[in-house]
Each structure stands twice: as C-alpha cells, then as structure tokens.
C-alpha cells in the first residue's frame, strides 16, 4: 500500500507573494535596501506560517521596525507622508492633539516658548496655510531671485485641486469640502523623475544626467515655469540629509538659506549655520524676511515672519544609523521649492536648505531631493 497521496488528493494552501524592490537607485549606497516579499496567507493561517518562518530563521518585526526601514531607505511611510489623504488628516490631528497635551502638562518654566522662536504651528503642520501663503507672495519672491512670473502663472485667489476643479480661497474652509481639495501631493512619477534629473542632477536607474545647473539653462527654466503654471497648489515629498552635525525632529522647519548662508557653507563644509534671534522686543525692529522682500506681513503669517522663508516642515526626522547623519522626510510647497532652487548659485552641488527644530534657534544645513 502506498503512503503517498495523489496529486489531486494533496492539501494545498493558497498564498499570494508580492515582490518589493526596495530602494531603486544604483548610485546610492541604499540600493535595494528594504527589498523582500510580502507573504499573504488565508485567514486563520497567519500564526502557523509565522511560527514556521521563525523556526527557519526569520526575524519578527512590527510597525516600529517597518517605520525604521522606511526611514533608513527614505521611503514614504503611510499615512505620515500622505497628508492629502483622509488617513493622513486623521494622523496629523492625532499627533497635534498628543503633542499639545504633552506640552500643556509641563509648567511654563519647563517648556519652550514657541512664540519667541517664531513658530506658528509647532505641534503639527498646517499644509493649507502653507500653500495659500506661498501663492500670495511667490511673484515677489521669485522676481527677487531672478525668475519672472507672468500674471497667468499663479492665481492668488483660486485653488485648482488635483481633480482639475477650482475653489476660491476663504478665511475658513467651507463645510463639506474634502480636506485634500485645497492642496495635493505631487506623485506623477514621470514628472518627479524629470525633476530629479534636471533640477537636482540625480541619476535614475544608472542613467547619468548631463544637464547644467546654471540658472540660465533653458530646460531647467522651462521645468520651473511648468511647475508654476500647473502645480502651484501642490506639495512634494522630499528626503533630506544633514550636511554636518545635528539631526532634525518631527515638525522641524525647512527654510530657504540666504545668499550669505550659501556662501558660508560653500566656503566651509563644517559651517554650523545661522541662528534665529528671539522674537521679542519691538516687532518693527525685528528683521523679518517679509520686509526684506517687500511683502505684506499679513499675507505670510506662517512662512515669512522669521529671518528665512519657510517652504515646508519635516514629517519624520531622526538620526540615521545607515549613513551616520541626521536625515528624514518632509513636505514642501512646490512654489517654495522653485524659489529655493532659484536661490541656489551655480556652484552649489544639489539643493541646500536650512532645517530648524521647534525647540531650537539653530539652523542646520541639509541637502534635499524629491522622493519617488
């Protein structure tokens, strides 16, 4: 008598395997970092397979380990890096409430005075205000940086959402309007790849870029104008790495360096960075960047009342064990990113920004790049 079952009598368990390529950049040290397989089993079979995998040498991890892998590989983590979704909105509200309650539990003498640091949203970013304020001042800022914007490029009053509809901005959003209708995150792969090659001079899948970083480059200028015309209400996910010491924490400000800041970091790679003065004393005497660019301060209450323009905020920042430097991810306004790129001199390698934690006056230099 045979002890082997026939093929049609053998028990089978249907599973689904999904391949994850991880980081796809041959020129990066993190190439294929985070690669692997997603193993999906039927209901009720999770624990038997998990025990079998552990006996065969698999390491068990949870959400914290998954988030660490995304951080080290600079991969957007859901829902933290997706603020235009309902899940991202709920996550942001929970984080704001938690941070505010933690802050209020401390006595006044044992907590930072965010008003003196010039912070309007220390507990969580206000992406809608960021987009609206950059639309109101982008013409003046870009003209100061040498990029002329036509009147049809950016409308100060009308918001075009991701679906092509338009809404007139008001002081408060109307009831029933979806959260993501006032802004959206740019996720068009072809456009992001072109931005990496043309604006950030990054290689994609081993293909080298020979585009000049000079501000007079026709291709570079055409791409900047295209972003101003078609994506003025968009946010873009960026990754950053600190050039020197220090690391960014969540909700840190991402700002545009001044011309003197860029000269300092080009001359000395170990330059620490500028310091934001305390916001105290007569307001008329404080050197706000809005006065320097002749912009009405009432229009830029969140982005223009410090000594540097704010273009976005960090969504996840910490020390990277893979690179040995501070790194993270954040969201920046497309208009602010265009202004930052226009402010870079031709001798700059990449795009340099300033990062400032909400509990510090110290700005730190960092390099940013768009994330696919």
How far apart CA 270 and CA 243 sit, in angstroms, is: 8
Residue 286: predicted pLDDT: 85
Dist. CA 338–CA 268, nearest whole Å: 25
pLDDT tens readout for residues 271-325: 999 999 999 877 777 888 998 888 888 899 899 989 999 999 999 999 998 888 9
Model confidence band, residue 29 (pLDDT cutoffs 50, 70, 90): low
Percent of the chain's residues with pLDDT above 90: 48
Q: Is the Cβ–Cβ distance between 336 and 318 less than 8 Å?
A: no
What is the sign of the dihedral through the CA atoms of 91, 86, 330 and 254? negative
Q: Tell which phi-psi region holds residue 346, choosing left (phi > 0), alpha (psi between -120 and 50) or beta.
A: alpha
Give the pair of three-digit tokens for residue 212. 């000049």
Quick: pLDDT tens for 92-122. 999 999 999 999 999 999 999 999 999 999 9
| The predicted structure's pLDDT at residue 20 | 85
Q: Are strands 310-319 and 184-185 parallel, antiparallel or unpaired?
A: unpaired
Residue by residue, DSSP assigns 203-254 as -BTTB-------TT-HHHHHHHHHHHHH-TTEEEEEEEEESSS----TT-EE
**Which element (helix H / strand E) includes 311?**
strand 310-319
Q: What was the pLDDT predicted at 171?
A: 33
Position 166 scores a pLDDT of 35
Which pLDDT score, from 0 to 100, does residue 214 have?
42
The answer to whether residues 368 and 354 touch, using CB atoms and an 8 Å cutoff, is no
Residue 215: per-residue pLDDT:
40
Q: pLDDT digits over 209-233, tens only?
A: 444 444 446 888 889 889 988 898 9
Residue 25: pLDDT band with limits 50, 70, 90: low
Contacts of 125 (CB under 8 A, 6+ apart): 83, 92, 251, 312, 313, 315, 331
Q: How far is Cα 359 from Cα 361, in angstroms, rounded to an integer? A: 7
- The ranges assigned to domains in the chain are 7-60, 86-370
Nearest Cα to Cα of residue 244 among 339, 362, 346:
362
């Amino acid at each position: 008598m045979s002890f082997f079952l026939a093929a049609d009598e053998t028990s089978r368990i249907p599973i689904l395997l999904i391949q994850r390529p991880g980081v796809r950049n041959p020129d990066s040290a993190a190439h294929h970092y985070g690669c692997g397989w997603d193993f999906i089993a039927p209901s009720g079979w999770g624990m038997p397979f998990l025990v079998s995998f552990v006996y065969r040498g698999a390491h068990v991890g949870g959400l914290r380990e998954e988030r660490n892998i995304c951080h080290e590989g600079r991969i957007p983590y859901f829902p933290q890096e997706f603020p235009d979704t309902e899940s991202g909105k709920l996550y942001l509200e929970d984080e704001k409430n938690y941070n505010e309650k933690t802050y209020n539990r401390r006595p006044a003498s044992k907590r930072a005075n965010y008003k003196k640091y010039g912070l309007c949203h220390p507990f969580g970013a206000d992406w809608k205000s960021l987009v609206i304020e950059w639309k109101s001042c982008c013409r003046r800022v870009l003209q100061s940086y040498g990029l002329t914007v036509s009147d049809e490029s950016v409308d100060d009053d009308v918001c075009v959402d991701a679906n092509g509809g338009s809404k007139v901005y008001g002081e408060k959003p109307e009831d029933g309007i979806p959260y993501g209708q006032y802004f959206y995150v740019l996720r068009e792969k072809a456009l992001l790849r072109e931005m990496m090659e043309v604006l950030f001079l990054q290689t994609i899948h081993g293909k080298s870029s020979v585009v000049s970083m000079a501000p007079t480059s026709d291709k570079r200028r055409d791409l900047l104008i295209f972003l101003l015309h078609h994506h003025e209400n968009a946010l873009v996910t960026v990754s950053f790495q600190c050039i020197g010491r220090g690391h960014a924490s969540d909700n840190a400000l991402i700002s545009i360096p001044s011309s003197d800041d860029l000269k300092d970091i080009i001359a000395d790679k170990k330059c620490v960075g500028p310091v934001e003065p305390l916001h105290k004393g007569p307001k008329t005497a404080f050197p706000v960047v809005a006065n320097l660019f002749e912009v009405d301060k009432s229009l830029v209450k969140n982005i223009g009342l410090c000594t540097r323009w704010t273009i976005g905020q960090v969504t996840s920042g910490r020390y990277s064990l893979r690179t040995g430097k501070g790194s993270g991810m954040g969201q920046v306004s497309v208009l602010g990113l265009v202004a930052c790129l226009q402010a870079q001199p031709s001798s700059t390698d990449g795009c340099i920004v300033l990062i400032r934690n909400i509990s510090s006056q110290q700005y730190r230099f960092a390099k940013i790049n768009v994330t696919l």
